[in-house]
Amino acid sequence: MFCAYFSFGQKPNVLCTQVNEDGSTTIFYQTVSIPNFDFYIISVFDNDSLAYVRIGSEPDMNIGTYTDYSRNANLGQVQYMVRSDPNNFAFGNTIHLNINSISTSSFELHWTSPSVSPTQPLVGTENQKYIIYRRFASQSNAWNLIDSTNNLTYIDNFLPTCSDTVFYKIELPNSFGCVSRSNIKSSFVGDNEIPIEPIVLCSSVDLVSQKLVFSWIPSLSIDTKGYVICGGSPCIAIDTIMGKEQNSFICDTCNVANVFSLAIMAFDSCFNTSLRSNYHKNIVLSYTREACTTEINLNWTNYSGDPLDVSVYNLYVSQNDGNYTLYETFLPSQNSFIFIANPLVENYGFYIEALLSNTEKSNSNKVISNQTLPKQVEFAYIRKASVSEDNSSIELSFYVDASLIVRGYDLYRSNNKIDYTLIKSINYTGNSSFNYIDTPTPTADKTIYYYKLQVPDQCELIYKSSNIISTIQLSVDASDAEMNILSWNDLIGWESIEPYDIYRVDENFPFGNQLGTALSAELGYEDNTSSMITASDKILYYIIAHEGGASPDGHRMEARSSTASVVKESLIFIPNAFCPTDIVNNTFKPYCSFIKSGSYKFKILSRWGEVIFETTQMNIGWDGRFNGKLCSAQSYVYVVEFVNSEGKKEKKSGIVNLIN
C-alpha cells in the first residue's frame, strides 16, 4: 500500500483501515514532515470511559501504517485516532459487517462506514462505492465481486444449494490506492430439513441362509433417496440402500452367533439424514452340554427393539437333521432351558422364535448339538502348594487317575478364588503322581494364590475338577520395637491341618529355628525379639503346614508358607572403660544388634594415632595388648564403622580408659 507514504501537509489523515482474519486492524495514514517530530500516537475509542485511549506509537516519521492487536474488530466497529503532534490528529473507523438470513439462498448485508461522519469521509473516498465480495467454501478460495453500492445495506440472492458455507466481505477503495476492508462474515446455507425416519419392524435370522435380515417401514418423506444401515455404539455405517421403497437389508458380514445392534436412517437428495431409529438387537442362541450327561443347556439373548415388546419365546427342535417342530413356549422373562437329550439321537438342532407386539416374528440363529457320552477320570487331587524360600516359585504336587488316557491336565490359578486363569497344560505321561513349579507375578509374599486342576475326558471337555488348594501368605507387623506379630491365612484344600510350625531365620540360626506352633492362622504368633543377640539387620520368618486327616493317596504332605522379613532398628552400646587383668570385663568391644552383615569394622588407636588393634568380627574384642604386650593404663581412641538397618553408613568414635 504505497498510498500510506504520500505527504499532504502536517495532518496524519487516515487513508483506510483493514480488518485482518484474526480480528486485528491495520491502519494506513498519511505521513508528515515536521521539525521536532517525536512519534505518531495511535489511540482507540473506549466505550467504558467514552474517551480515546492510547494503544501504541510509531517513532519513525516515514512509516504510515500500524497494526492494532488490542481490539477484536471481528466483534464490532473500532474507532481510531492518529496524532502527529498535539494540534494535528485524524480519525478513522473499521468497517464492521453483519449478515441476516432471509432464506436458504438470500442474505441481507449491512455494515458501518469507516468515516467519522457523512460530512467527513476518509481522505480519497469521496464518490467511491462500497464493493461487495462473496465466496462459497465448496467452490474455491477466490472471492467474487458481486456488486457495488453507495448504501450501507445490500440484499444478495443466489441459486439454492444443498449444503455450503457462504462468506462475505466489504471493501471501500480511495483515490490513492488504499482500500478499507471489513471483517469476514460467514453462514451455513442449504437444505437442512431432515427426512422422516423409517419404522423398524424387526431384526431376524433367515432360517435357510442363516443370515441376519433387518426390515422396516419406508420413510414417508417424498424426497427420500435411500437408507443408511448402521451398527454398534457409536452407530457406524454398515451399508447404504438406494431407493425410497426399499424395506429390508441382508447383512452378509454379520455373524449370527453374535448380537448386533442395528439401526437405520433415511437420507434425501441433499444427503440430509433422518433421526436414527432405535437399536434393534437380534436373538442369539447358544448351548452347553456337560461331558457325560444328557443335559443340553440352552441360553438365548433377549430381543431388544424399543418400543417393541416380546409376547412369547418359542423353542423349535429337530432330531437328526429332520424338520423343526415347536417344542416349548416361554414367557418373555425366561431366556434359558435345560433340554434332556436321548442318547440314541446323534444330533439335535434348535432355534428360538420371538413373537413381537407388532405381530412380526424374529428368529435366532440355529445351533446343532452332536455329542456322545465319553469316559471320565475317577479322581484328581492337588497334594500341596509350597512356596520357595525366596517367594519366587510355588511347588505343586498332584495325584491323578492315570488309567484314562487324556490329552493332558489343565492347571488354573487365581488370586481371588473367583477368576481363574489357565497357566499350564501338563502333558499326560501315564504317571499318577507328578509335580509342577509355578513362578507367578507378583510373588507369593504379595498375594494368596489358589490352584485347581481340571482333567478333560476323552471328548476334551472339562469334566473332573480337583480340590482347590491355596498357598500360605505370611506377614509380619514390626511396629512394636520388641515384638514381631505374625499372621497368615489358613491353608485350604486339605481335609484337616495339624498345628502350624513357626520358624525364624537370623544370623544365629541361618537354617531356621522353630519358635513354636499355632493351631490356626486366627491365633497368629507373637515373637519377642528384645533378648535376641544378632548382628544381622534382617529377620526372616516362615510357616510349615502339616496335612491331617486321610489324604487320597495315603501320603500326608507338608507345605511351606511365603517368607516374611523384618528389618530391625540398629542398636549399639560401647563401654567407656575395661580392665584387661580382671576376671570379667577384661576385653573391650562394642555391643551391636541389627546391623548390616559384613559391614562391621572396629579399631583402637593410640594417642598418636597409631592403630594398635582392628577387626571385622563383632564377637572379637580388644584384650588391652599390642604386639603381645599389655598396654599402659591410659585413654585410647576407638573407631566403630557399620551400615545400619536403613542402609546408611555410620561411624562412631570415642575414648575408652584402660585400667590395670
Task: Please say whether the beta carbons of 120 and 193 come within 8 A.
Answer: no
Burial class (CB in 10 A: 0-12, 13-18, 19+), 378: exposed
Tell whether 381 and 361 lie within a shared domain. no
In the structure, what pLDDT confidence band is assigned to residue 199 with cuts at 50, 70 and 90? Answer: very high
Mean pLDDT of 599-604: 91
In the structure, what pLDDT confidence band is assigned to residue 463 with cuts at 50, 70 and 90? Answer: confident
Higher pLDDT among residues 201 and 35, named by residue: 201
Higher pLDDT among residues 479 and 281, named by residue: 281
Tell whether 543 and 588 lie within a shared domain. no
Using the 3D structure, point to which of 330, 350, 369 is the last residue of a domain. Answer: 369
Q: Residue 539 is which amino acid?
A: I
Residue numbers of the domain that contains 177: 2-190
Tell whether 272 and 355 lie within a shared domain. no
- The Cα–Cα gap between 346 and 348 comes to 7
Tell whether 252 and 159 lie within a shared domain. no
Q: Which of 84, 92, 86, 43 has its CA nearest to residue 62? A: 84
Mean pLDDT of 566-592: 85
In the structure, what pLDDT confidence band is assigned to residue 534 with cuts at 50, 70 and 90? Answer: low
Using the 3D structure, point to which of 261, 281, 301 is the last residue of a domain. Answer: 281
Contacts of 628 (CB under 8 A, 6+ apart): none
Tell whether 550 and 587 lie within a shared domain. no
Q: Please count the structural domains in the chain.
A: 5
Tell whether 532 and 654 lie within a shared domain. no
Mean pLDDT of 579-584: 90
Tell whether 550 and 605 lie within a shared domain. no
Residue 130 is predicted with a pLDDT of 97
Tell whether 484 and 543 lie within a shared domain. yes
Tell whether 304 and 353 lie within a shared domain. yes
Q: Which of 379, 381, 427, 384 has its CA nearest to residue 403? A: 379
Tell whether 539 and 593 lie within a shared domain. no
pTM score of the predicted model: 0.40
Tell whether 327 and 205 lie within a shared domain. no
Higher pLDDT among residues 220 and 307, named by residue: 220
CATH number of the domain encompassing residue 252 = 2.60.40.10
Reply yes or no on whether the pLDDT at 647 is more than 80.
no
Q: 628 is written with which cell numbers?
A: 603381645
Mean pLDDT of 479-507: 89
Residue 513 is predicted with a pLDDT of 87
Burial class (CB in 10 A: 0-12, 13-18, 19+), 49: exposed
- The Cα–Cα gap between 458 and 123 comes to 102
Q: 228 is written with which cell numbers?
A: 443408511
Residue 472: C-alpha distances to residues 250, 448, 488, 492 (Å)? 58, 7, 7, 9
Using the 3D structure, point to which of 346, 369, 392 is the last residue of a domain. Answer: 369
Instruction: Classify each residue of 491-526 as buried b or exposed e, where b means 16 or more C-beta atoms within 10 Å of its C-beta.
Output: bbbbeebeebbbbbbbbeeeebeebeebeebeeebe
Q: 27 is written with which cell numbers?
A: 491502519
Residue 4 is predicted with a pLDDT of 40
Residue 3 is predicted with a pLDDT of 40
Mean pLDDT of 349-375: 90
E strand spans, 321-432 = 325-330, 336-340, 348-356, 361-363, 367-369, 380-387, 394-400, 408-414, 421-427
Tell whether 206 and 76 lie within a shared domain. no
